[in-house]
Structure 1
Amino acid sequence: MLLFHIRTQFPILNKKKSKIKSDTCTDKRTKEHGTCIIINECPKVIEDLRKNIFPTTCGFQGTDVLVCCPKLKEKTVRKPGQISDEMCKIYSQYVWSKELSPTLLAGAEDIARNECPFDRLELVVGGAPASRKEFPHMVQLGYGRNPIVWGCGGSLISNQYVLTAAHCTYDRSLGEVLYARMGVTDLDDPENLQQYRISEAIPHPSYRVPNNYHDIALLKLEKSAQLNSWVRPACLYKSVKSPWSKAIASGWGKTSFGGSDSSILLRVVLELYNQTYCTKVYRQESRTSKLPEGIKDDLMICAGHSKDLKDTCSGDSGGPLQVYYSGGEKNMSCMYDIIGVTSFGKGCGFGVNIPGVYTRVANYLKWIEDTVWPIE
């Protein structure tokens, strides 16, 4: 039937003008380059004919119709970290704000002001309130309605996606995560607050309750966030092996075990522990279904304090473990690389040398990038 349609739609071409099999051609409708082949050998043309879309013909080979079959587009291949690096540089523009030039001279350029509120701090172990705009990627997640209960944390990594822990996508008492708010350091000062509904929660496909492995998820906002110096995505660190000995955790979580949540965003500098030591700390958990294979270095980062009772706590789950941006580009001193996502621990400040465990972001970079910035 398809062959009948093609013969009746297009007259037999003059042999001098006809092309032969394997000749190059151009589709008259789409202007795409292709190759002349027998109609039954071109799935794209057959698919189009079923929709009454007729192809460009090249002629005939015997009784077989030759059609201009578009070349298959090569699948874009990118290295993990490539697209997030590119987007990181784009997002860094929001460190700067532009103001209209006060002069009325024609061609006067706008004034660019650096909105970075801090210099890179010496990473001294300890905790303190965060400065305004110090962590513009910080997100707080909400559950339930009337009232909304704000619980886990997260990191804005694009204008529409938040990175968090998989266990934060659902609360046994309150149900699914529904809201995300950002743009504030002090929750009692909501002037620059942005709040959005979450349209989709995407736990990593390998995450299984009650297992603690692959505890990472992406949340899609119903609308794109308005990026500025108060709300700006963070970067993603792409190497599983890193030179860091310390990193910064941040969140509005409880300041002590059993205590109340903090209304002011807090930051704490933590020391990174090796897998051998961390495995010893969590030896008991490795005998349960939560951690049957123990601490896996390629999937997890352990961080805590060797001297003080400083730790992430309830309410900090899903929040970032971060380091200052290490790419070396100019004008990016105010950016962060997310290296981990707060996952689990032994309670808040359970003791010195009792590290918490963070999901290692670099191991999941391809999954994150393919979800947030899919190849079209």
Structure 2
Amino acid sequence: MHKFLIIIVNVILVKNIYPQRIIGNSCTHERSNSPGVCKLLTHCKRIRDEVVFSYELPQTCGFQGTQPIVCCPNPRQPGSISETKCREYSSHTKEEQLCGHNIVKRVLGGIPIGRTEFPHMAMIGFQTGSSDNLRWLCEGSLISEQYILTAADCLISETDGEPTVVLLGVTNLNDTNKRQEIKIVTNVVHPEYKNVSRYHDIGLVKLEKPIEMSSYVRPACLNTHFDSPVGAAVATGWGLTHYAENNSEHLLKVTLDIAKYDLCKKNYEVTSNLSRGIINDMHICTGRDEDRTGICQTCAGGPLQIYHNNDPTLCMYDIVGVTSFGRGCSINTRVSHYIKWIEDVVWPESGQ
């Protein structure tokens, strides 16, 4: 293997010779546009894997004897690529008034929303049997040009199989204007998720092709810090408007309190599928028992979100949770706990 790598890099250097640098010198990794350091190829796993498995030509710093020195990207800090992408996606917003982030009072069934208020909302469809038997059973959030964030429970079903298509760009499920239906090519379940438990209920859906970016379809930001949100957050979905009714055809929103951890933990005792109880790092509780607003009125996989206000970024929401399960206080998977895993799947080219 070592001789193989040396032969490859020797061939490359004949065509493209970079100024000689020594081990430890700083460099800029051109492909990811990130800072790096000159290392022996054998000491940089990311570049070594690119050479061996992807046949990517390495950016070289020089040689130490016969051993190639390459520009090895610095390990990325979890959350850094998410914050960069948040600013990038915000730049696609043309007019601030198109988003209309109106925080609503707590309402049992939620209220209809503006046409471009939540352009990241996605409905996930399951095809069983004939082509006209398409059912929208789960929700998700568009977080990049080609990935939907949802619940792992939505991606593993003994009765409905795996999801096959995603719907974007509409608030009414029957609307054809600005509608984008894109096939799913890959379902990625968190590696620690088990469908007999309530932990790590988070997954990703890869679309067959990138979305067409617009005011109606645009990725949301990801919440990267554990200490957010404070107070309340917005839940959105086509979920149940009353406890015994069918799903709403129109996208709804409701503002929910973030419940204190002690109250949430008390409501959910240790059980066979919740063997460690509620874990604050992994879960966010919303709603209250007395007003019953937090009883899973959105479909599984839908977002819990707060308005992004950390910088001049406009018309963006931060996804803080993914709807998982609940009674009284709805339980959401805490997104900040899974940032590194999400980034490694969605933006692997930006990591080491």
> Normalising by structure 2, what TM-score?
0.79
Q: 2:282 pairs with 275, 299, 323, which one? A: 299
**What is the alpha-carbon distance in structure 2 between the residues aligned to residue 68 and residue 80 of structure 1?**
35
Is 1:134 equivalent to 2:120 in the alignment? no
Deviation at 1:255, TM superposition (A): 1.6
Q: 1:174 to 1:306 in 2, by over 3 A?
A: closer
The AA in structure 1 aligned to 2:205 is L
**What is the alpha-carbon distance in structure 2 between the residues aligned to residue 312 and residue 134 of structure 1?**
23
The aligned residue for residue 316 of structure 2 is: 335
**What is the alpha-carbon distance in structure 1 between the residues aligned to residue 126 and residue 190 of structure 2?**
20
Q: 1:261 to 1:243 in 2, by over 3 A?
A: closer
Q: Alignment RMSD, CA only?
A: 3.0
The aligned residue for residue 93 of structure 1 is: 91
The aligned residue for residue 259 of structure 2 is: 273
Q: 1:265 to 1:246 in 2, by over 3 A?
A: same
Q: Deviations over 1:342-363 (max 9, x none)?
A: 00012xxxxxxx2100000000
1:186 match: secondary structure: coil
Q: 1:203 pairs with 189, 193, 196, which one? A: 189
Q: Deviations over 1:65-98 (max 9, x none)?
A: x9653203323322111111111111112221xx
Equivalent pair of 2:304/2:323 in contact (CA under 8 Å): yes
Deviation at 1:121, TM superposition (A): 2.6
Deviation at 1:190, TM superposition (A): 1.9
Deviation at 1:309, TM superposition (A): 3.0
Rg: which structure is higher? 1
Gaps of 5+ in 1: 7-25, 52-57, 59-65, 97-112, 347-353
Is 1:171 equivalent to 2:157 in the alignment? yes
Deviation at 1:208, TM superposition (A): 1.0
Equivalent pair of 2:103/2:234 in contact (CA under 8 Å): no
Is 1:356 equivalent to 2:342 in the alignment? no
The AA in structure 2 aligned to 1:220 is K
Equivalent pair of 1:303/1:355 in contact (CA under 8 Å): yes
The AA in structure 1 aligned to 2:321 is G
Q: 1:306 to 1:315 in 2, by over 3 A?
A: closer
**What is the alpha-carbon distance in structure 1 between the residues aligned to residue 334 and residue 184 of structure 2?**
24
The AA in structure 2 aligned to 1:366 is K
The AA in structure 2 aligned to 1:128 is I
**What is the alpha-carbon distance in structure 2 between the residues aligned to residue 230 and residue 257 of structure 1?**
30
Q: How many residue pairs were aligned?
A: 306
Q: Deviations over 1:158-199 (max 9, x none)?
A: 000000000001222110111111100011222111011110
The aligned residue for residue 98 of structure 2 is: 116
Q: Deviations over 1:192-236 (max 9, x none)?
A: 110111100111111112111000001100110101000000001
Using the TM superposition, name which of 157-166 and 236-245 deviates more: 236-245
The aligned residue for residue 160 of structure 1 is: 146
Q: Which has the higher contact order (CA 8 A, sep 6+)?
A: 2
**What is the alpha-carbon distance in structure 1 between the residues aligned to residue 81 and residue 41 of structure 2?**
33
The aligned residue for residue 81 of structure 1 is: 79
The aligned residue for residue 271 of structure 2 is: 287
The aligned residue for residue 373 of structure 1 is: 347
**What is the alpha-carbon distance in structure 2 between the residues aligned to residue 375 and residue 42 of structure 1?**
18
> Normalising by structure 1, what TM-score?
0.75
Deviation at 1:253, TM superposition (A): 1.3
Q: 1:175 to 1:122 in 2, by over 3 A?
A: closer
**What is the alpha-carbon distance in structure 1 between the residues aligned to residue 97 and residue 181 of structure 2?**
22
Identity of aligned residues (%): 38
The aligned residue for residue 109 of structure 1 is: none
The AA in structure 1 aligned to 2:282 is L
**What is the alpha-carbon distance in structure 1 between the residues aligned to residue 41 and residue 252 of structure 2?**
61
The aligned residue for residue 261 of structure 1 is: 247
**What is the alpha-carbon distance in structure 1 between the residues aligned to residue 126 and residue 244 of structure 2?**
20
The AA in structure 2 aligned to 1:337 is D
Q: Deviations over 1:15-73 (max 9, x none)?
A: xxxxxxxxxxx93333145689xxxx9878xx99xx9xxxxxx9xxxxxxx96532033
Equivalent pair of 1:136/1:232 in contact (CA under 8 Å): yes
Equivalent pair of 1:76/1:375 in contact (CA under 8 Å): no
Gaps of 5+ in 2: 7-11, 23-39, 43-47, 56-61
The aligned residue for residue 59 of structure 2 is: none
Q: 1:224 pairs with 203, 210, 215, which one? A: 210
**What is the alpha-carbon distance in structure 2 between the residues aligned to residue 296 and residue 124 of structure 1?**
28
The aligned residue for residue 70 of structure 1 is: 68
Deviation at 1:311, TM superposition (A): 3.1
The aligned residue for residue 223 of structure 2 is: 237
